[in-house]
């Protein structure tokens, strides 16, 4: 089973700042990595699929990059609604697995 | 619009089974796989398995093998996830989810979640 490690566990930033979240896989997942956002009491929302493709309806301030074992989710300028927990998920190897999440909170 | 609507909260005793439903609307139910994911309170996401609503083919995470069954009723566009031999550690919110084509890209849809509480 592929283990995903996310860093940092918590990221404290102010609105308008740039957020950079990392996801590292225990072995290559090629580009089969997705990013999800989850707010308290809500279901997760797909942001990015296949490492760098924004899901339909997702604002352009969200971008994903990386391949193999190292991936990054960047939020170019944080909006108030972006403070949430972000999870990465791989679907390269069975079973699909999620990372433990990065919480982006308000500084 | 696409919606996945799940059944309501359940309280079960240890050793019992629970069956959660996920009714799809706004798209052709048999077009996209349904995944099931759970989340214990304050914890991360845990993928449980998937089902192809067209063929009925399923795949389960090894952790749940032998305890989980995913089925569907295509006539009412509804997927089901049944988990047996419940224990307290199964207390969680259970989600169904799908990823569908939207224009030139993809979009994810999730149910609202079903809280399953296992308690004696």
Q: Model confidence over B43-96: pLDDT tens digits?
A: 999 999 999 999 999 999 999 999 999 999 999 999 999 999 999 999 999 999
pLDDT at position B59 is 96
| φ, ψ for residue B62, nearest 5 deg | -55, -35
What would the 3-class secondary structure string for chain A be?
CCCEEEECCEEEECCCCCEEEEEEECCCCCCCEEEEEECCCCCCEEEEECCCEECCCCCCCEEEEEECCEEEEEECCCCHHHCCEEEEEECCCCCCEECCCEEEEEC
pLDDT at position B77 is 97
Distance, in angstroms, between B88 CA and closest chain A CA?
21
Long-range contacts of A76-85 (CB under 8 A, 24+ apart): A76/A18, A77/A16, A77/A17, A77/A18, A78/A13, A78/A14, A78/A15, A78/A16, A78/A17, A78/A18, A78/A19, A78/A104, A79/A15, A80/A15, A82/A19, A82/A37, A84/A37, A84/A38, A84/A39, A85/A37, A85/A38, A85/A39
Please check the confidence at residue B103 and state whether its pLDDT lies above 90. no
pLDDT at position A20 is 98
Q: Model confidence over A46-105: pLDDT tens digits?
A: 999 999 999 999 999 999 999 999 999 999 999 999 999 999 999 999 899 999 999 999
> Closest to B108 (Cβ–Cβ): which among A55, A98, A101?
A55
Q: How far apart are CA B108 and CA A34, in angstroms?
A: 11
Please check the confidence at residue B101 and state whether its pLDDT lies above 90. no
Lowest mean pLDDT among B9-18, B79-88, B101-110: B101-110
> Closest to B107 (Cβ–Cβ): which among A43, A57, A96?
A57
Q: Model confidence over B32-43: pLDDT tens digits?
A: 999 999 999 999
Q: Mean of the pLDDT values across residues B3-27?
A: 97
Quick one: what percent of chain B has pLDDT higher than 70?
100
CB B9, CB B114: distance < 8 Å: yes
Name the A residues in 14-33 with CB < 8 Å from any B CB. Answer: none
Q: Model confidence over A4-36: pLDDT tens digits?
A: 999 999 999 999 999 999 999 999 999 999 999
Which residues in chain A are contacts of B45 at CB distance < 8 A? Answer: 36, 38, 44, 87, 89, 98, 101
pLDDT at position A69 is 97
Please check the confidence at residue B104 and state whether its pLDDT lies above 90. no
pLDDT at position B102 is 82
**3-class DSSP assignment, residue B29:** helix
Q: Is the dihedral of CA A9, A35, B36, B65 positive or negative?
A: negative
If we measure between CA atoms, which residue out of B116, B95, B101, B35 comes closest to residue A42? B95
Residue with tokens 């609507």: B5
Q: Mean of the pLDDT values across residues B17-27?
A: 97
């Amino acid at each position: 089973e592929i283990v995903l490690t996310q860093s940092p566990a918590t990221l404290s930033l102010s609105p308008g700042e740039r957020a950079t979240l990392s996801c590292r896989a225990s072995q290559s997942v090629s580009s089969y990595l997705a990013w999800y956002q989850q707010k308290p009491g809500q279901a997760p929302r797909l942001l990015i699929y296949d490492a760098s493709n924004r899901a339909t309806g997702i604002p352009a301030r969200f971008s994903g990059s990386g391949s193999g074992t190292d991936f990054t989710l960047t939020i170019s300028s944080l909006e108030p609604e972006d403070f949430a927990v972000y999870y990465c998920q791989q679907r390269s190897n069975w079973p699909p697995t999620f990372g433990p999440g990065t919480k982006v909170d308000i500084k | 619009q696409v919606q996945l609507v799940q059944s309501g909260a359940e309280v079960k005793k240890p050793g019992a089974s629970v069956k959660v439903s996920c009714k799809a609307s706004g798209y052709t139910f048999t077009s996209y796989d349904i995944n099931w994911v759970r989340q214990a309170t304050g914890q991360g996401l845990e993928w449980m398995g998937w089902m192809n609503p067209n063929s009925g083919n399923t795949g389960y995470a090894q952790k749940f093998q032998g305890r989980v069954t995913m089925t569907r009723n295509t006539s009412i566009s509804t997927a089901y996830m049944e988990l047996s031999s419940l224990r307290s550690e199964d207390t969680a919110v259970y989600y169904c989810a799908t990823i569908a084509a939207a224009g030139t890209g993809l979009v994810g849809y999730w149910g609202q979640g079903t809280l399953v509480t296992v308690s004696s």
